[in-house]
Amino acid sequence: MGSPCELLVDSKSDIEAAALADTVSTEAWRIEDKFSRYLPDNVVSRINNSGGEVVTVDDETANLLDFAATLFEMSNGRFDITSGVLREVWTFDGSDRVPSKSQVEQTLKRVGWDKASWCRPDLQLAPGMQIDLGGIAKEYAVDRAAMLAAAGSGDACLVNFGGDLVATNAPKGSEGWQVGIDALGQDRNIAQKLIRLKNGGLATSGDARRYLLKDGVRYGHILDPTTGWPVIDAPRSITVAADTCTQAGMLATLAMLAGPEAESFLEDQDCKSWCLR
Amino acid sequence: MKRKNSKSVAATLTTATCALLGTTTTTPVNAQEEHAWEFDTALLYYGEGDSRVQDASVNLLAVRNFVDDRVLSLTLGVDSLTGATPIGAVPFDGPQTFTSPSGLRVKTRPANEIPLDDSFLDTRVAFSAGWQQPWGRLSSFNAGVSASKEYDYLHLGANFKLAHDFNKRNTTVSLGLAFSSDELDPVGGAPQALTSMLDVGDLSNRLGSQSKDVLDVVLGVSQIINRNLVVQLNYSYSSADGYLNDPYKIVSLVDPVSGDPVPRVPTPGVDGPSHEYLFEGRPDQRTKHSIYGQAKYYMNGKVLDASYRYMTDDWDVDSHTVDLRYRWPFSGQSYIEPHVRYYTQTHADFYRTSLDSSAPLPAYASADYRLGEFDAITVGVKYGRQLQSGNEWSARVEFYTSSGSVPADLLIGNQAGREIYPDLNAIIAQFSYSFGW
């Protein structure tokens, strides 16, 4: 998952807690193995190396692709699992290496879910195109792991994969799990906000350490696939609470893509959210 | 993204997520931001029966939680007292006239009634500030100051507390120290102990302002017995020095046979007391020891909180307090909490209903009903409700009743057939609202 993953369990029994940890980690590794674009021989690798051929996918992958297709439509193309190739020209390492307009335009030719042909269970990408399920799979993994944990035990759990998390219940004698949102650019140990999560998902989008700075303009790492350029004036961090981690994560990402309108977008969704600018 | 479409995003997303996860329902999210500031506000009414003391107060508690368990708490309280309170004189079958505390006028009370003083009306403002922070990994440190002011009284205090956890944080020991220095500036001046209530305008036995210092030490142990039971045991020591009299309380001088107040004739042309009364006199030192035990028992969300306190002091007042609360949550957001408290105390060794006019004066004497022997019961109920926003309101109603008994050997003559001890009934009503900011 590219980040520390943890499970907190409020259990009287070491054996039960160990069994839950096993369930959760097995599911996390299964999803990572299956959907990571960094690993060879998985379904994503087959799709990305298909050379324009049709790839037939299994049910679970098809569900994720359906979900991605819905998000693409819903966001008018701004949420796009084929946008990962833009990273070939954009590296957000704090430097001033902003790509040229022509570099971006060239790369943008290989971006666009509408250029792919998805007819469940068959997917055909144009040659040179790639998909990256990283924007969905982590949240999906958190929800899946939490569902399995809740099905296997009545104990209160907090599944936390790199800051995207789900609580299945409050620990005994408390109102909920205490979750801190980091203060950006400050001491990492100081939480800017404390949230008490009893049930549901919490996801954060944004990373203040990933940006480019050129001629006084700060380019945040959220790219708009419709232009190939970073979203201007997006909050530095958005945290959303929703029934599931997947919903929370997608709302946070969509709000980021809304740039200056992030807050009003979230207000319209009637969800609890916290934006840091 | 077009604004007009954005409202439907959440709904579409919910449908898509359910399809992705293969579920039809999800538990609704329950997430609350922990606010930097927590406020507790309360309106309290305390009213004694028979038009005795009425007190209305407004209290505000503000708590600022910092990370790393550092906490700042501030309190502000304003209360307004009116009504009448027994002054200590014995009732008898004739009217009695008293000089007011100011020494400027007289007041006559009817026959066969416990004499009350209804001249007081006071507003009190109280403030306190406290700071708590961890001290090393297993200890914490508390320091605070307090002040309160009413027009004849000023209180200043400081307190410190150290707590240390050990035994895998299942045991906490604590040591608390509090010091207060109070200054009394009674209306008309503080009377000299056991001197006579004088005619109007004669302030010759009044002193200037008086002071009192109190030191409190509390040693505590709290122990987590298991997941459901937490117990606490405290020992407290309290030492008060200085002017400990109630400047507005008096004792009747009575006939050794009849027990009726000894008549007195004011200076001609001047108003004054109709009988002989002495201002009360208490020792200028009081040392109290008390033991307090508390158990909190959790049963599936319900909490039984039981406590007992035993106090003994060198004035010979021994008291026992038993307090029971049972918090009963229902329907997720609400709780109901019945409360019962029983209190009993013995009288101070210098407590007298009156003083024998033929006998030499004792060193100390007070007829203050609060130093007499009495039992009190409080019965009440509290209802609390948490709102969607995480804020909470609660309402509490309690009834208090106390009744005293005067040992037969303290009653003289006719006093045996009269109601000497002022029983008390009171109602307490409180509305509280807590919110974060």
Yes or no, beta carbons of A76 and B298 under 8 Å apart: no
> What's residue B1's pLDDT?
44
Longest C-alpha distance within chain B, in Å? 102
Strands in B137-272 per DSSP E: 139-150, 153-166, 171-184, 190-191, 206-207, 210-226, 229-242, 250-254
Contacting residues of B for A65, CB less than 8 Å apart = none
Fill in the amino acid letter for B111: A
Query: How much is the pTM?
Result: 0.71
> What's residue A233's pLDDT?
83
- Going by pLDDT thresholds of 50, 70 and 90, the confidence category of residue A169 is confident
Q: What are phi and psi of B343, to 5 degrees?
A: -135, 140
Question: Nearest chain A Cα to B26, which residue?
Answer: A243
Interface test with B, best of A133, A177, A269, A276 (most B CBs within 10 A): A269
Residues 45-74 of B with CB under 8 A from A: 65, 67
Q: What are phi and psi of B123, to 5 degrees?
A: -120, 130
Fill in the amino acid letter for B211: S
| C-alpha torsion B99→B100→B104→B105, nearest 10 | -70
Residues 359-388 of B with CB under 8 A from A: none
Residue B41 C-alpha from the chain's centroid: 18
> How far from B431 is each of B41, B43, B75, B301, B341, CA to CA, in Å?
8, 5, 17, 23, 20
Number of Cβ atoms within 10 Å of the Cβ of B128: 17
* CA–CA dist A142, A162 (Å, integer): 10
Residue A230: burial class (beta carbons within 10 Å; 0-12, 13-18, 19+):
buried
Number of Cβ atoms within 10 Å of the Cβ of B95: 14
Residues 263-322 of B with CB under 8 A from A: 298
CATH value at residue A76? 3.10.520.10
Yes or no, beta carbons of B29 and A201 under 8 Å apart: yes
Q: Are B81 and B121 in contact (CB under 8 A)?
A: yes
Residue A134, token pair as written in the block: 């990283």
Yes or no, beta carbons of A269 and B10 under 8 Å apart: yes
* CA–CA dist A265, A271 (Å, integer): 10
Q: What are phi and psi of A268, to 5 degrees?
A: -65, -30
Contacting residues of B for A140, CB less than 8 Å apart = 20-21
Contacting residues of A for B31, CB less than 8 Å apart = 176, 195-198, 200, 202, 241, 272
Assess B333–A contact: CB distance below 8 Å, yes or no.
Answer: no
> What's residue B300's pLDDT?
83
Residues 217-236 of B with CB under 8 A from A: 227
Residue B25: burial class (beta carbons within 10 Å; 0-12, 13-18, 19+):
exposed
* CA–CA dist A212, A234 (Å, integer): 14
> How far from A259 is each of A34, A96, A233, A237, A253, CA to CA, in Å?
32, 21, 5, 11, 10
Q: What are phi and psi of A23, to 5 degrees?
A: -60, -50
Contacting residues of A for B12, CB less than 8 Å apart = 70, 74
Assess B13–A contact: CB distance below 8 Å, yes or no.
Answer: yes
Range of the domain at A140: 5-276
DSSP A108: H
* CA–CA dist B346, B373 (Å, integer): 4
Q: Are B194 and B281 in contact (CB under 8 A)?
A: yes
Fill in the amino acid letter for B324: L
Fill in the amino acid letter for A255: A
User: Does B33 reside within a domain?
Assistant: no
Mean pLDDT, 10 residues at a time, chain B of 437 residues: 60 90 81 85 95 94 83 96 93 95 93 87 94 91 96 96 91 97 94 96 93 98 92 98 96 96 95 96 98 95 95 98 96 92 98 96 97 98 88 96 95 94 96 92
Yes or no, beta carbons of A244 and B26 under 8 Å apart: yes
Q: Are A156 and A9 in contact (CB under 8 A)?
A: yes
Contacting residues of B for A193, CB less than 8 Å apart = 33-34
Yes or no, beta carbons of B33 and A175 under 8 Å apart: no
Query: How do residues B198-248 score in pLDDT, each as one tens digit?
Result: 999 999 999 989 999 999 999 999 999 988 999 999 999 999 999 999 999
> What's residue B3's pLDDT?
45
CATH value at residue B128? 2.40.160.40
Range of the domain at B236: 39-436
Question: Nearest chain A Cα to B21, which residue?
Answer: A144
Angle, CA of B372, B374 and B380, to the nearest 5°: 135
Q: What is the least distance, in Å, from the CA of B340 to any CA of chain A? A: 24
ipTM: 0.89
Number of Cβ atoms within 10 Å of the Cβ of A249: 26
Closest CA to B64 of B36, B40, B41: B36
- How many domains does the structure of chain A reveal? 1
Element (H, E) at A28: helix A14-35
Question: Nearest chain A Cα to B302, which residue?
Answer: A173
Contacting residues of A for B7, CB less than 8 Å apart = 268-269
Q: What is the least distance, in Å, from the CA of B229 to any CA of chain A? A: 12
Q: Are A230 and A274 in contact (CB under 8 A)?
A: no
- Going by pLDDT thresholds of 50, 70 and 90, the confidence category of residue A91 is confident
Query: How do residues B8-50 score in pLDDT, each as one tens digit?
Result: 788 889 989 999 998 877 778 888 877 778 999 999 999 999 8
Closest CA to B402 of B52, B45, B89: B52
* CA–CA dist A66, A52 (Å, integer): 20
- How many domains does the structure of chain B reveal? 1
Q: What is the least distance, in Å, from the CA of B160 to any CA of chain A? A: 27
* CA–CA dist A63, B321 (Å, integer): 66
Residue B350, token pair as written in the block: 């210098």
User: Does B25 reside within a domain?
Assistant: no
Which one is predicted more confidently, B76 or A197?
A: B76
Residue B14 C-alpha from the chain's centroid: 54
Contacting residues of B for A63, CB less than 8 Å apart = 19-20, 22
Question: Nearest chain B Cα to A198, which residue?
Answer: B30
> What's residue A209's pLDDT?
64
Question: Nearest chain A Cα to B11, which residue?
Answer: A269
Contacts of residue B168, Cβ cutoff 8 Å, sequence gap at least 6: none
Yes or no, beta carbons of A247 and B31 under 8 Å apart: no
